[in-house]
Amino acid sequence: MADRCNTIRLYSFQTDVVYQVLKRDGICFSKEEYVRRKYQESAEVFVNAYSWFVKEAEKVVPKPEWAEYPYWAFTDLYNVDQTGEGHVLVLDVPIGEAVLFDMFDWTKIMQMHYIGENEPEEAAFSEELKNLGLTEFQVMTSNFYPEQKAKIQESWKRLFRHQKAIECGDTSGVHSVQAGLWRIKDEWIVK
């Protein structure tokens, strides 16, 4: 991390187009159409999770007018998916510009899982659904289980539970830090 409680060092893999827009305009915003194009037939699951993220994350870090979806970044280069054509950007991002969370919690959301306060709570919820003959994915992709769906979606708000601690350099409760950035600015790129 760079200058604790002021900026955070992040790594993000971006396409050549993003890199060119940054060089041309100095700032770049992500759009829903990019996610749909990237994930194609799987896009609906991603769009549902991303749309939930946008609605909730803008309560943590306000979303600029031109932003639709976040760019993903990580504090550990190891977690950056570098497949495809593009560039790894090394960024020093002002702390107030980054939505910070545990990558493992985001993975749970992408898999339509419940996020408990702890593992026993998650296991108990899964067992509750199992006793009903259901899985979390079935609940989240159906219109038939509104009570269980509401519980799962409410649990997702725990994604942001580590924001303040991570902002000040405390990652003790986090497996791996991921960040959502509403924009990327050329001035953040470490030359």
pTM of the predicted structure, to 2 decimals: 0.88
Three-class SS state of 57:
helix
Calculate the average pLDDT of the chain: 90
Nearest CA-CA partner of 100 in 183, 53, 162:
162
**Tens-digit pLDDT profile for residues 11-51:** 999 888 888 888 899 998 887 777 777 776 665 677 778 88
Question: Could you say which DSSP state residue 25 is in?
Answer: H
What are the strands of the beta sheet with 7-14, ordered from one edge?
A: 87-94, 7-14, 71-74, 177-181, 98-102
**Tens-digit pLDDT profile for residues 171-184:** 999 999 999 999 99
**Tens-digit pLDDT profile for residues 109-138:** 999 999 999 999 999 999 999 999 999 989
Q: CA–CA separation, 53 vs 144, rounded Å?
A: 23
In this prediction, residue 145 carries a pLDDT of 93
* Alpha helices per DSSP H over 40-181: 43-57, 103-110, 119-131, 136-140, 146-155, 163-167
